[in-house]
Amino acid sequence: MPAYRDERIDSSNSKIIQWFKMDQFEPERAVTSYFVSPKTLLMIRIPLVLYSVIVMWADIGTAIADNEFKHYFAYFTRFTFVGLHAYLVTSFCHHVRYLRCQPSHPASFFNQSAILNYLYVWLYHTVVTFNILTPVVYWALLSGSLLNDPTVTSVDWWVGVSLHTATLFMMMTEVIMTRMVLHTRMVLLVFSTVICYMMLTFIIYGAEKWWVYSFLDWGQGPSAAIWYIAVAVFVVLCFFLQTGIHALRNKIGAPRRVVDDDETIMPTEKAYVSDKLQYQEPEMPSSNEDKRYYSQTLVDSSLESHITLGASSTDHLA
Protein backbone atom coordinates (compact mmCIF):
# COMPACT_ATOMS: atom_id res chain seq x y z
CA MET A 1 0.00 0.00 0.00
CA PRO A 2 1.40 3.41 -0.91
CA ALA A 3 2.54 5.88 1.68
CA TYR A 4 0.31 8.93 2.03
CA ARG A 5 1.38 12.47 2.69
CA ASP A 6 -1.30 13.61 5.13
CA GLU A 7 -0.98 17.38 4.87
CA ARG A 8 -3.12 19.49 7.15
CA ILE A 9 -5.07 22.48 5.96
CA ASP A 10 -3.85 25.88 7.11
CA SER A 11 -4.29 26.66 10.80
CA SER A 12 -7.17 28.94 11.69
CA ASN A 13 -6.90 32.16 13.64
CA SER A 14 -10.21 31.38 15.34
CA LYS A 15 -9.85 29.96 18.84
CA ILE A 16 -13.15 28.13 18.44
CA ILE A 17 -12.02 26.38 15.25
CA GLN A 18 -8.73 25.47 16.91
CA TRP A 19 -10.46 24.13 20.03
CA PHE A 20 -12.73 21.86 17.99
CA LYS A 21 -9.65 20.82 15.94
CA MET A 22 -11.40 21.53 12.66
CA ASP A 23 -8.19 23.02 11.27
CA GLN A 24 -6.40 19.72 11.90
CA PHE A 25 -8.26 18.21 8.96
CA GLU A 26 -6.02 16.17 6.66
CA PRO A 27 -7.91 15.98 3.34
CA GLU A 28 -6.05 12.97 1.95
CA ARG A 29 -7.67 10.84 4.65
CA ALA A 30 -11.07 11.42 3.02
CA VAL A 31 -9.99 9.90 -0.31
CA THR A 32 -7.65 7.08 0.78
CA SER A 33 -7.96 3.83 2.71
CA TYR A 34 -5.93 1.51 4.89
CA PHE A 35 -7.27 -1.50 3.02
CA VAL A 36 -7.62 -0.65 -0.69
CA SER A 37 -6.05 1.68 -3.22
CA PRO A 38 -7.56 5.12 -3.92
CA LYS A 39 -8.85 3.90 -7.29
CA THR A 40 -10.57 0.91 -5.71
CA LEU A 41 -12.08 3.17 -3.04
CA LEU A 42 -13.51 5.36 -5.80
CA MET A 43 -15.07 2.29 -7.43
CA ILE A 44 -16.69 1.43 -4.09
CA ARG A 45 -18.07 4.95 -3.76
CA ILE A 46 -19.68 5.06 -7.21
CA PRO A 47 -22.62 2.71 -6.41
CA LEU A 48 -23.13 4.42 -3.05
CA VAL A 49 -23.44 7.83 -4.71
CA LEU A 50 -25.74 6.51 -7.44
CA TYR A 51 -27.98 4.75 -4.93
CA SER A 52 -28.23 7.85 -2.75
CA VAL A 53 -29.22 9.94 -5.79
CA ILE A 54 -31.94 7.44 -6.73
CA VAL A 55 -33.31 7.27 -3.18
CA MET A 56 -33.22 11.05 -2.84
CA TRP A 57 -35.39 11.67 -5.89
CA ALA A 58 -37.65 8.71 -5.17
CA ASP A 59 -38.29 10.06 -1.67
CA ILE A 60 -39.00 13.54 -3.02
CA GLY A 61 -41.33 12.06 -5.63
CA THR A 62 -43.32 10.01 -3.11
CA ALA A 63 -43.57 13.00 -0.76
CA ILE A 64 -45.02 15.10 -3.57
CA ALA A 65 -47.41 12.33 -4.63
CA ASP A 66 -48.68 11.98 -1.05
CA ASN A 67 -49.03 15.78 -0.64
CA GLU A 68 -46.50 15.72 2.21
CA PHE A 69 -43.69 17.72 0.67
CA LYS A 70 -44.48 20.73 2.86
CA HIS A 71 -43.27 18.62 5.79
CA TYR A 72 -40.33 17.12 3.92
CA PHE A 73 -37.70 18.84 6.06
CA ALA A 74 -39.67 18.47 9.26
CA TYR A 75 -38.39 14.92 9.77
CA PHE A 76 -34.99 14.24 11.27
CA THR A 77 -34.66 11.24 8.95
CA ARG A 78 -34.68 13.54 5.92
CA PHE A 79 -32.06 15.84 7.43
CA THR A 80 -29.90 12.79 8.18
CA PHE A 81 -30.23 11.40 4.66
CA VAL A 82 -29.66 14.77 2.96
CA GLY A 83 -26.50 15.12 5.06
CA LEU A 84 -25.29 11.66 4.05
CA HIS A 85 -26.09 12.34 0.41
CA ALA A 86 -24.23 15.67 0.52
CA TYR A 87 -21.22 13.99 2.12
CA LEU A 88 -21.13 11.17 -0.46
CA VAL A 89 -21.43 13.51 -3.45
CA THR A 90 -18.87 15.98 -2.09
CA SER A 91 -16.38 13.23 -1.25
CA PHE A 92 -16.87 11.65 -4.68
CA CYS A 93 -16.14 14.92 -6.49
CA HIS A 94 -13.01 15.56 -4.43
CA HIS A 95 -11.94 11.94 -4.93
CA VAL A 96 -12.12 12.22 -8.73
CA ARG A 97 -10.08 15.42 -8.68
CA TYR A 98 -7.58 13.78 -6.31
CA LEU A 99 -6.91 10.97 -8.78
CA ARG A 100 -6.67 13.35 -11.72
CA CYS A 101 -3.72 15.13 -10.12
CA GLN A 102 -0.35 13.68 -11.09
CA PRO A 103 0.92 12.73 -8.63
CA SER A 104 -2.29 12.30 -6.65
CA HIS A 105 -2.90 15.22 -4.32
CA PRO A 106 -6.09 16.58 -2.65
CA ALA A 107 -5.58 20.01 -4.20
CA SER A 108 -9.32 20.64 -4.46
CA PHE A 109 -9.59 20.71 -0.66
CA PHE A 110 -6.64 23.07 -0.30
CA ASN A 111 -7.86 25.39 -3.05
CA GLN A 112 -11.36 25.86 -1.65
CA SER A 113 -12.42 28.16 1.18
CA ALA A 114 -11.38 27.07 4.67
CA ILE A 115 -15.01 27.41 5.76
CA LEU A 116 -15.99 24.63 3.35
CA ASN A 117 -13.37 22.35 4.88
CA TYR A 118 -14.65 23.10 8.39
CA LEU A 119 -18.22 22.37 7.28
CA TYR A 120 -17.04 19.12 5.69
CA VAL A 121 -15.50 18.03 9.00
CA TRP A 122 -18.68 18.98 10.88
CA LEU A 123 -20.80 17.16 8.30
CA TYR A 124 -18.75 13.97 8.66
CA HIS A 125 -19.15 13.92 12.43
CA THR A 126 -22.94 14.36 12.18
CA VAL A 127 -23.32 11.79 9.40
CA VAL A 128 -21.51 9.01 11.23
CA THR A 129 -23.48 9.69 14.42
CA PHE A 130 -26.98 10.32 13.08
CA ASN A 131 -26.97 7.32 10.77
CA ILE A 132 -26.77 5.10 13.84
CA LEU A 133 -29.27 7.18 15.80
CA THR A 134 -31.95 7.34 13.10
CA PRO A 135 -32.26 3.61 12.25
CA VAL A 136 -32.31 2.56 15.92
CA VAL A 137 -34.92 5.14 16.98
CA TYR A 138 -37.06 4.50 13.90
CA TRP A 139 -37.24 0.72 14.15
CA ALA A 140 -37.62 0.81 17.93
CA LEU A 141 -40.28 3.54 18.20
CA LEU A 142 -41.66 4.75 14.88
CA SER A 143 -41.80 1.86 12.41
CA GLY A 144 -45.42 0.99 13.22
CA SER A 145 -46.68 3.30 10.47
CA LEU A 146 -44.69 1.29 7.93
CA LEU A 147 -45.22 -2.19 9.34
CA ASN A 148 -48.92 -2.02 10.22
CA ASP A 149 -50.37 0.20 7.49
CA PRO A 150 -52.07 -1.93 4.79
CA THR A 151 -52.03 0.97 2.34
CA VAL A 152 -48.24 1.13 2.21
CA THR A 153 -46.98 0.43 -1.31
CA SER A 154 -43.86 -1.47 -2.32
CA VAL A 155 -42.23 1.84 -3.26
CA ASP A 156 -42.98 3.21 0.22
CA TRP A 157 -41.43 0.08 1.71
CA TRP A 158 -38.29 0.41 -0.40
CA VAL A 159 -37.89 4.12 0.38
CA GLY A 160 -38.53 3.52 4.09
CA VAL A 161 -35.96 0.73 4.31
CA SER A 162 -33.46 2.74 2.27
CA LEU A 163 -33.77 5.78 4.55
CA HIS A 164 -33.64 3.80 7.79
CA THR A 165 -31.44 0.78 7.06
CA ALA A 166 -29.43 1.14 3.85
CA THR A 167 -28.08 4.46 5.09
CA LEU A 168 -26.47 2.69 8.03
CA PHE A 169 -24.53 0.34 5.73
CA MET A 170 -23.59 3.19 3.38
CA MET A 171 -22.24 5.22 6.28
CA MET A 172 -20.35 2.28 7.78
CA THR A 173 -18.73 1.61 4.41
CA GLU A 174 -17.37 5.14 4.46
CA VAL A 175 -16.16 4.82 8.05
CA ILE A 176 -14.34 1.54 7.47
CA MET A 177 -12.93 2.21 4.02
CA THR A 178 -11.62 5.75 4.57
CA ARG A 179 -9.11 7.11 7.08
CA MET A 180 -11.11 10.02 8.49
CA VAL A 181 -10.49 11.10 12.08
CA LEU A 182 -13.16 11.65 14.73
CA HIS A 183 -12.37 14.41 17.23
CA THR A 184 -13.90 13.91 20.66
CA ARG A 185 -14.64 17.59 21.21
CA MET A 186 -16.89 17.60 18.16
CA VAL A 187 -19.51 15.77 20.22
CA LEU A 188 -20.59 19.21 21.42
CA LEU A 189 -21.34 20.40 17.89
CA VAL A 190 -23.08 17.14 17.04
CA PHE A 191 -25.24 17.46 20.15
CA SER A 192 -25.94 21.14 19.41
CA THR A 193 -27.17 20.10 15.95
CA VAL A 194 -29.76 17.85 17.59
CA ILE A 195 -30.77 20.68 19.92
CA CYS A 196 -31.32 22.94 16.89
CA TYR A 197 -33.56 20.29 15.35
CA MET A 198 -35.51 20.07 18.60
CA MET A 199 -36.08 23.81 18.41
CA LEU A 200 -37.36 23.39 14.86
CA THR A 201 -39.94 20.83 16.03
CA PHE A 202 -41.11 23.31 18.67
CA ILE A 203 -41.55 25.98 15.99
CA ILE A 204 -43.51 23.55 13.82
CA TYR A 205 -45.74 22.65 16.75
CA GLY A 206 -46.31 26.31 17.56
CA ALA A 207 -47.32 27.01 13.95
CA GLU A 208 -49.37 23.89 13.19
CA LYS A 209 -50.13 22.27 16.58
CA TRP A 210 -48.59 19.10 15.17
CA TRP A 211 -45.77 17.06 16.67
CA VAL A 212 -43.36 15.63 14.11
CA TYR A 213 -42.70 12.66 16.41
CA SER A 214 -45.19 11.46 18.99
CA PHE A 215 -42.61 10.90 21.73
CA LEU A 216 -41.84 14.66 21.66
CA ASP A 217 -45.39 15.53 22.73
CA TRP A 218 -45.33 17.51 25.96
CA GLY A 219 -48.85 16.28 26.68
CA GLN A 220 -47.43 12.92 27.78
CA GLY A 221 -46.33 14.50 31.05
CA PRO A 222 -43.20 13.23 32.83
CA SER A 223 -42.72 10.45 30.28
CA ALA A 224 -41.98 13.09 27.63
CA ALA A 225 -39.08 14.40 29.72
CA ILE A 226 -37.74 10.85 29.98
CA TRP A 227 -37.83 10.51 26.19
CA TYR A 228 -36.01 13.81 25.71
CA ILE A 229 -33.27 12.74 28.13
CA ALA A 230 -33.06 9.26 26.62
CA VAL A 231 -32.61 10.63 23.10
CA ALA A 232 -29.98 13.11 24.28
CA VAL A 233 -28.01 10.38 26.02
CA PHE A 234 -28.31 8.08 23.00
CA VAL A 235 -26.89 10.77 20.71
CA VAL A 236 -23.77 10.95 22.88
CA LEU A 237 -23.53 7.14 23.04
CA CYS A 238 -23.75 6.90 19.23
CA PHE A 239 -20.92 9.40 18.88
CA PHE A 240 -18.61 7.52 21.24
CA LEU A 241 -19.56 4.22 19.65
CA GLN A 242 -18.26 5.66 16.41
CA THR A 243 -15.12 6.79 18.22
CA GLY A 244 -14.52 3.19 19.20
CA ILE A 245 -15.20 1.95 15.67
CA HIS A 246 -12.71 4.44 14.26
CA ALA A 247 -10.10 3.35 16.81
CA LEU A 248 -10.66 -0.31 15.93
CA ARG A 249 -10.35 0.45 12.23
CA ASN A 250 -7.07 2.25 12.82
CA LYS A 251 -5.77 -0.64 14.91
CA ILE A 252 -6.64 -3.24 12.29
CA GLY A 253 -5.39 -1.13 9.41
CA ALA A 254 -1.72 -1.81 8.87
CA PRO A 255 0.54 1.10 9.93
CA ARG A 256 1.32 3.32 6.97
CA ARG A 257 4.18 5.70 6.48
CA VAL A 258 2.94 9.26 6.86
CA VAL A 259 5.10 12.13 5.72
CA ASP A 260 3.97 15.42 7.23
CA ASP A 261 5.43 18.90 7.05
CA ASP A 262 6.52 18.58 10.68
CA GLU A 263 7.62 14.98 11.04
CA THR A 264 8.33 11.69 9.32
CA ILE A 265 7.12 8.42 10.79
CA MET A 266 8.70 5.25 9.48
CA PRO A 267 6.80 2.03 10.27
CA THR A 268 9.81 -0.29 10.25
CA GLU A 269 13.54 -0.09 9.66
CA LYS A 270 13.17 -2.73 6.95
CA ALA A 271 10.78 -0.55 4.97
CA TYR A 272 13.19 2.36 5.26
CA VAL A 273 16.13 0.26 4.04
CA SER A 274 14.13 -1.14 1.12
CA ASP A 275 13.21 2.37 0.06
CA LYS A 276 16.86 3.36 0.14
CA LEU A 277 17.79 0.35 -1.97
CA GLN A 278 15.24 1.28 -4.61
CA TYR A 279 17.01 4.58 -5.20
CA GLN A 280 20.59 4.55 -6.38
CA GLU A 281 22.69 7.48 -7.41
CA PRO A 282 23.68 7.26 -11.08
CA GLU A 283 27.27 6.11 -11.41
CA MET A 284 29.47 9.03 -12.37
CA PRO A 285 33.03 8.75 -13.63
CA SER A 286 35.69 9.67 -11.11
CA SER A 287 37.64 12.89 -11.43
CA ASN A 288 40.83 10.96 -12.31
CA GLU A 289 39.03 9.17 -15.15
CA ASP A 290 37.76 12.51 -16.45
CA LYS A 291 41.27 13.90 -16.43
CA ARG A 292 42.66 10.86 -18.26
CA TYR A 293 39.96 11.05 -20.93
CA TYR A 294 40.46 14.75 -21.50
CA SER A 295 44.25 14.50 -21.62
CA GLN A 296 44.24 11.51 -23.99
CA THR A 297 41.86 13.32 -26.34
CA LEU A 298 44.10 16.33 -26.29
CA VAL A 299 47.10 14.15 -27.13
CA ASP A 300 45.37 12.41 -30.03
CA SER A 301 44.12 15.63 -31.58
CA SER A 302 47.37 17.53 -31.44
CA LEU A 303 49.99 14.78 -31.52
CA GLU A 304 51.55 15.82 -34.81
CA SER A 305 51.73 19.56 -34.17
CA HIS A 306 52.27 19.53 -30.43
CA ILE A 307 54.20 16.31 -29.76
CA THR A 308 56.03 17.82 -26.84
CA LEU A 309 52.83 19.01 -25.11
CA GLY A 310 51.11 15.65 -25.68
CA ALA A 311 54.01 13.73 -24.19
CA SER A 312 54.06 16.02 -21.17
CA SER A 313 50.31 15.50 -20.58
CA THR A 314 50.66 11.73 -20.82
CA ASP A 315 53.46 11.73 -18.27
CA HIS A 316 51.23 13.78 -15.92
CA LEU A 317 48.40 11.21 -16.14
CA ALA A 318 50.71 8.32 -15.42
> How many CA atoms are closer than 13 Å to the CA of 35, on its beta-carbon side?
14
Question: Can you give the pLDDT at residue 299?
Answer: 40
pTM exceeds 0.85 for this model:
no
Q: Is the CA virtual torsion 218, 223, 229, 230 positive or negative?
A: negative
Give the pLDDT of residue 220.
85
Of 88, 111, 109, 102, residue with least CA distance to 41: 88
Residue type, 109: F
Task: Look at residue 240 in the predicted model and tell me its pLDDT.
Answer: 97
Question: Residue 255 has what pLDDT?
Answer: 67
Distance CA 197, CA 219 (A): 19
pLDDT in tens, the chain (318 residues): 557 888 999 999 999 999 999 999 999 999 999 999 999 999 999 999 999 999 999 999 999 998 989 999 999 999 999 999 999 999 999 999 999 998 899 999 999 999 999 999 999 999 999 999 999 999 888 887 777 778 888 898 999 999 999 999 999 999 999 999 999 999 999 999 999 999 999 999 999 999 999 888 988 888 888 999 999 999 999 999 999 999 999 999 866 544 444 333 334 333 333 333 343 444 444 444 444 444 444 444 444 444 444 444 444 444
Amino acid 151: pLDDT: 81
Q: What is the pLDDT of residue 149?
A: 79
The span from the CA of 238 to the CA of 171, in Å, is 13
Contacts of 95 (CB under 8 A, 6+ apart): 30, 31, 38, 41, 42, 45
pLDDT at 258: 44
